[in-house]
Amino acid sequence: MDRWTENEFQRVARTTRISTRTLDACKDVLVDGMSNMAAAAKHKMFAPQISRAVTTLREKQAEQMKFASIRKESDEMMQYIASEVARHLFGQEFETTLAQPGCSYEGPVVVQSKGYLVQKVGRGGVLHNVAAFDNLPQLQQTLRIDYDAKGNLTGIAQVNPQEKSAKDLGR
């Protein structure tokens, strides 16, 4: 098992909600090379508790390393940024997916980042590549966005939410 540096540990620890006491024990394991049992005895904790926290820290480190390996300007990074902005607006459970060929999406545009915009559709969001748009839609504009079977953008139409709700009610 390779040891972490103090800086690596602090960078990863900041991204968790692990208690200070448990983090101190994990630091003894990951940075100082102490066994889980010895750290548990030192901090008057249970070894499985430390083991779970160490696993969480290792998973966070792997996640950070994954995103560090993605080039800043890559398509994946732009998707990630747009998705994270949407999560911060609507909560961590807000899921985004890429627009799919042959589909139509209706809802307001809620995020516009460098490479992608997010359209709120139902309880989640759809990522649309801004390169496909001639003119970028405004935020909060409710649109119907259509794609053909090859994934090409074929239509963008503004939808008036009041007209839609009246139509849905059978008026």
Residue 15's CATH number:
1.10.10.2690
For residues 50 and 32, is the Cβ–Cβ distance under 8 A? no
Q: Tell me, yes or no, whether 62 and 96 share the same domain.
A: no
pTM: predicted TM-score of the whole model, two decimal places:
0.55
Q: Is 81 inside a domain boundary?
A: no
**pLDDT grade, residue 136 (50/70/90)?**
confident
Q: In sequence order, which residues have a C-beta less than 8 Å from that of residue 16 and are 6 or more positions away?
A: 23, 56, 57, 60
Q: Tell me, yes or no, whether 118 and 159 share the same domain.
A: yes
Q: Tell me, yes or no, whether 64 and 97 share the same domain.
A: no
Q: Is 18 inside a domain boundary?
A: yes
Per the structure, the count of domains in the chain is 2
Q: Tell me, yes or no, whether 65 and 124 share the same domain.
A: no
Which helix (H) or strand (E) segment is 39 a member of? helix 36-43
Q: Is 57 inside a domain boundary?
A: yes
Degrees, nearest 5: CA angle 16-72-63: 30
Whole domain around residue 17: which residue ranges? 6-69
What CATH number has the domain bearing residue 109? 2.40.50.140
Comparing 2 with 110, which gets the higher pLDDT?
110
Q: Tell me, yes or no, whether 124 and 155 share the same domain.
A: yes
Q: What number is the average pLDDT over the span 36-56?
A: 96
Q: How confident is the model over 75-118, as pLDDT tens digits? A: 888 899 999 999 999 998 999 999 999 999 999 999 998 889 99
Q: Tell me, yes or no, whether 19 and 61 share the same domain.
A: yes
- Residue 171 is predicted with a pLDDT of 45
Per DSSP, helices labelled H in 75-139 are 75-90
Q: Is 63 inside a domain boundary?
A: yes
- Residue 65 is predicted with a pLDDT of 80
